[in-house]
Each structure stands twice: as structure tokens, then as C-alpha cells.
Amino acid sequence: MTDTAELLLSELMTNAYRHAKVPAGREIRARCEFTEDRLRITVTDASATLPAPGTPSADDESGRGLILVATPADDWGAEPRACGIGKTVWCELARH
């Protein structure tokens, strides 16, 4: 589970860093939460643009980040933040 969680966190953070074009001083935050049966990884940034999985061709050098999240994760999603600034992208792994 640790290797998969590291991959998922890395992909979500990289996507936020590369795609969340926001004013200087805005932060990207990550959080990992264990519950009785799940690990939930969330990454929050100040961009309101919700991510969508791409359909890269074999020659494309990018566009696979969310595919790399969706494949090993048991669930994932994105939603606007309740405060009205930015979004949260999350994924979950079942604890076995």
C-alpha cells in the first residue's frame, strides 16, 4: 500500500503544480487520512479548474497523470472547495 500511496500522492501533487495556474502566494496542500478501512489522499490548490482524465496518444509525453491515479486507486474524484477558492482532488485506497 505504501508504494501505491506514494505514487498517487506524487501524481496528484505534480498535477497541481503543473496545472494550477494561480497567483504567487497561493499554496498547494496535501493531506493523508487513515480511517478504519481506507487511506484518503487529498491535494488542494487555488485553481477552480477541475481535472479530467486525458486520452493521450502513444507519442504524447504527458496527459497520463489522472490515468495513473484512477488505475490503482479504489476511488477518486475532484470537487470545488467549500470556501469557494480552488478545488480538492482526492483518491482512496482500501486497507487490506
Rounded to two decimals, the pTM is 0.86
Q: Which residues contact 27 (CB under 8 A, 6 or more apart)?
A: 45, 46
**How many Cβ atoms sit within 10 Å of the Cβ of residue 36?**
5
Residue 52 pLDDT: 81
Amino acid at 66: L
Confidence tier at 85 by pLDDT (50, 70, 90): confident
Q: Rounded to an integer, what distance in angstroms lies between the CA atom of residue 77 and that of residue 39?
A: 14
Helix (H, G, I), strand (E, B) or coil at 20: coil
For residue 42, pLDDT over 90 is answered with: yes
Domain 2-94 architecture: 2-Layer Sandwich (3.30)
How large is the average pLDDT for residues 43-71?
A: 83
pLDDT > 90: percent of the chain: 51
Residue 19 has pLDDT above 90, yes or no: no
Rounded mean pLDDT of 13-38?
A: 87
Task: Indicate the DSSP class of residue 70.
Answer: H
